[in-house]
Amino acid sequence: MSDQALRDHLVRALDWQEAHVGFDDAVKDLPPEKRGQQPPGFAHSVWQLIEHMRIAQDDIFDFCANQRYVHTMKWPDDYWPKDAAPPNSAAWDESVASFKRGREKFKTLARDTKDLYALVPTGKGHQTYLRALLLVIDHNSHHLGQIIAVRRAAGAWR
């Protein structure tokens, strides 16, 4: 039995534009002065959320693709930027571009991994490639909602 429908669905879910706003629209046209703003009641700025998503996504991909992966990152310190604002526009642009490159790598993983149900060699127990894909989709979706909420509170959403 072919799992092509599942693979196609995973690729679409990485971009999700059906059930909610996707990453590209969530970060589009955010004025530079709003990127590091932390509205009252919010723990993170949009910059911190994007960087966190990028860092976590890269780490999960490394877990899947690197046969010598060893988890060395410390939670939460290594997964969240300390500064609320990006150091400059170039850092913002690179973070957004890097997130998108990472997303493309996961699309390739969804399309080309021989067995989505196989255990990731460096993983434990139930840590399959499918689980890693679903984890990234779920994690990014959660933080996309936060990005929209922060943008609304900062007066920077449609």
Tens of pLDDT along 48-61? 999 999 999 999 99
**Farthest CA pair distance, the chain:** 52
Mean residue pLDDT of the chain comes to 96
Q: Of 94, 81, 118, 116, which Cα lies nearest the Cα of 27?
A: 94
Specify burial of residue 75 (Cβ count, 10 A radius: 0-12, 13-18, 19+): exposed
Tell me: the pLDDT tens digits for 62-80? 999 999 999 999 999 999 9
Q: What are phi and psi of 128, to 5 degrees?
A: -95, 170
The predicted-structure confidence for 4-51, as pLDDT tens digits, reads as follows: 999 999 999 998 777 789 999 999 999 999 999 999 999 999 999 999
pLDDT at 75: 94
Domain ranges of the chain: 4-153
Residue 16 burial (CB count, 10 A): 15
Q: Does the model's pTM come out above 0.85?
A: yes
- We find that the CATH architecture of domain 4-153 is Up-down Bundle (1.20)
For residue 147 the two structure tokens come to 């990005």
Burial class (CB in 10 A: 0-12, 13-18, 19+), 47: buried
